[in-house]
Chains A and B, each alone.
Chain A
Amino acid sequence: SSKPPKIDKSRVPEVKEEDIEEKFIRGWGPGGQSINKTSSAVYLRHIPTGITVKCQKHRAQHQNRKEARLLLQVKWDEVLNGEDSVVAQQKRLLEAKSVKRMSKAKKRRQLQAEWKQSLRND
């Protein structure tokens, strides 16, 4: 089949590190080696827009920090670009694909019905 239509990512805003306020839960005391906690939740606030995200999916704080930045970018893209956001474009693509699949199946059923009918006619 032909190449899949591309998603337009040109409008996705760039999240600058200096525009992010990052928070963690760690508790008090000297920290470092003297603490062993499994909580690695990351909270980000995008200062210019006020958008906040939280990520605690991963066991590694490093991975939560990376994912939180991605989530922030996705959220900002949706707020900023609405219909033109990457998420909205992907949704439309999936809907178009399923409509195409449905009409293909419908067409196939129609052809099969016609074939069966022609067999009965013979």
Chain B
Amino acid sequence: MCRHYCSVHSPGGRDAQKGCTGLKEVPEGSQSLVALEYDLPANATVADALCHFTKLLEAHSVPEAELSTQHLLAAALVTTRAELESQCDRVLSSDEREILKRYIICRVQRMPVQYIVGDWDFHNITLDLWPPVFIPRPETEQLVEQVVQFVHSWSQQDRPRLLEFCAGSGAISLALLHACPQVSATVVEQSGRAIALAAHNAHKLGLLSRLSLVHAKIERRPLSQLPCSSYDIIVSNPPYVPSKALAKLEPEIFLYEDLRALDGGTDGLDVIRNILWHSAELLSDGGRLFLEVDQTHGSLLPAWLEEQKHKAEGASLQQLFVDQVEKDVFGKVRYIMIVKRKACDGS
């Protein structure tokens, strides 16, 4: 196997260049270059592998080099990151070295760790993840928590019915079904691959009996395929990134994730507006819509809703009221809660 070298910025070195220029074959004996091989020696330990591949990823300007290496090594060894510490001196088998090598090659190509490893934890469940289905973000765990709190305060006799738009891998609904045994859910998703993954995850978690899956695109016109005519809770993490921001996304996202899960149009509200139109019809009286949004939407969405209410075609939206606008743990506006009130209660 020929040796591949990655040139790294080294002050004073003849081949000094910023960052990584990619793999190239170089004659043996070039002292100014750092040899970064993908093949570990047969006696390599866990500690050796961690050190070596962290350096390799760093040399390739891969973000979270050390953490990525830990996750990939733990996956290759079929263990957890916490366990790695106690196994520092364990020698890797040749199978393990081979698997880790493949994982590292993928990571050098900026493939997200979650896709390489194939599964990830979200809230209190584990989800399988297939590219290019959108990988759940930690902010969305807080969205789930807000719905959980609402379900716990549910005082009505009937079990709450949940509807999720843009479900992707099924993360939100499945986390909620797991946390709240009395809830039943319907998920709507336009991507065939994503909805297959959601069904797969539901089956794996033993939640399929409480879940309906609808393969449909959310547009302005009503959906005909929903099993229920009204829902008590509607939740969504819809595409909300303004289109012009898509160009600034890191390679992990624009190379591997389905950008339809992110692109919210010019102001990021295209899909959200349609969700509001649907919610006006589908929410029961007193029902709530829980949305994850872009930080600019905290003011934009209430303003749009108010504007629509004064238009002739906005009659149905008059029943919707913005109840809460909350920030995420990073201090950015992230959640909007909207309640449907049919009768005028003077508020």
| A39-B67, A61-B141 as given contacts; A34 in contact with B253, CB under 8 Å | yes
A4 at the interface (CB under 8 A from B): no
B-chain residues with CB within 8 Å of residue A29 when the two chains form the complex:
248
Residue of A35, A38, A60, A63 touching B113 (CB-CB under 8 A): A38
Task: Please measure, in the bound complex, the distance between the C-alpha atom of A61 and the C-alpha atom of B328, giving whole angstroms.
Answer: 12
B33: min CB distance to chain A, Å: 30
Contact residues of B between 40 and 83, Cβ < 8 Å to A: 63-64, 67-68, 71, 81-82
| A30-B294, A60-B122 as given contacts; A38 in contact with B330, CB under 8 Å | no
Residue of A24, A32, A37, A57 touching B294 (CB-CB under 8 A): A32
A67: min CB distance to chain B, Å: 11
| A24-B329, A60-B124, A62-B124 as given contacts; A33 in contact with B137, CB under 8 Å | yes
B239 A61 Cβ-Cβ under 8 A: no
A121: min CB distance to chain B, Å: 52
Residue of B113, B121, B239, B334 touching A58 (CB-CB under 8 A): B121
B111: min CB distance to chain A, Å: 11
Considering the complex, give the chain A residue whose CB is closest to the CB of B239: A33
| A26-B330, A62-B145 as given contacts; A36 in contact with B295, CB under 8 Å | no
Task: Please measure, in the bound complex, the distance between the C-alpha atom of A33 and the C-alpha atom of B142, giving whole angstroms.
Answer: 14
B121 A63 Cβ-Cβ under 8 A: yes
B45: min CB distance to chain A, Å: 22
A93: min CB distance to chain B, Å: 24
Task: Please measure, in the bound complex, the distance between the C-alpha atom of A24 and the C-alpha atom of B241, giving whole angstroms.
Answer: 22
A4: min CB distance to chain B, Å: 28
B123 A34 Cβ-Cβ under 8 A: no
A30 B245 Cβ-Cβ under 8 A: yes
B10: min CB distance to chain A, Å: 27
| A60-B138, A62-B123 as given contacts; A34 in contact with B71, CB under 8 Å | no
A-chain residues with CB within 8 Å of residue B124 when the two chains form the complex:
60, 62-63
Contact residues of B between 94 and 127, Cβ < 8 Å to A: 112-114, 120-124
A-chain residues with CB within 8 Å of residue B334 when the two chains form the complex:
31-32
B123 A38 Cβ-Cβ under 8 A: no
B332 A31 Cβ-Cβ under 8 A: yes
A40 at the interface (CB under 8 A from B): yes
B292 at the interface (CB under 8 A from A): yes
Contact residues of A between 31 and 71, Cβ < 8 Å to B: 31-40, 57-63
A65: min CB distance to chain B, Å: 8
Considering the complex, give the chain A residue whose CB is closest to the CB of B256: A36
We find that the number of chain A residues with CB closer than 8 angstroms to chain B is 22
Residue of B113, B142, B241 touching A34 (CB-CB under 8 A): B241
B270 at the interface (CB under 8 A from A): no
B332 A36 Cβ-Cβ under 8 A: no
B250 at the interface (CB under 8 A from A): yes
Considering the complex, give the chain A residue whose CB is closest to the CB of B80: A57
A84 at the interface (CB under 8 A from B): no
B135 at the interface (CB under 8 A from A): yes
Task: Please measure, in the bound complex, the distance between the C-alpha atom of A38 and the C-alpha atom of B64, giving whole angstroms.
Answer: 8
A38 B137 Cβ-Cβ under 8 A: no
Task: Please measure, in the bound complex, the distance between the C-alpha atom of A57 and the C-alpha atom of B240, giving whole angstroms.
Answer: 30
A34 B138 Cβ-Cβ under 8 A: no
Task: Please measure, in the bound complex, the distance between the C-alpha atom of A40 and the C-alpha atom of B124, giving whole angstroms.
Answer: 14
A-chain residues with CB within 8 Å of residue B343 when the two chains form the complex:
none
B189 at the interface (CB under 8 A from A): no
A78 at the interface (CB under 8 A from B): no
Task: Please measure, in the bound complex, the distance between the C-alpha atom of A32 and the C-alpha atom of B262, giving whole angstroms.
Answer: 10
| A32-B292, A34-B245, A36-B257 as given contacts; A24 in contact with B330, CB under 8 Å | yes
Considering the complex, give the chain A residue whose CB is closest to the CB of B238: A33
| A26, A36, A61, A63 interface centre (most CB from chain B within 10 Å) | A36
B residues in contact (CB < 8 Å) with A: 63-64, 67-68, 71, 81-82, 112-114, 120-124, 134-135, 137-139, 141-142, 144-145, 237, 239-241, 245, 248-250, 252-253, 257, 261-262, 292, 294-295, 328-330, 332, 334
Known contacts A34-B241, A34-B253, A35-B137; 5 additional CB pairs below 8 A are: A24-B329, A29-B248, A32-B328, A33-B239, A61-B141
A-B contact pairs, 21 of them (CB 8 A): A31-B328, A32-B295, A32-B332, A32-B334, A33-B134, A33-B237, A33-B240, A34-B248, A34-B249, A35-B137, A35-B250, A36-B112, A36-B250, A38-B71, A39-B64, A59-B71, A59-B121, A60-B141, A62-B122, A62-B144, A63-B121
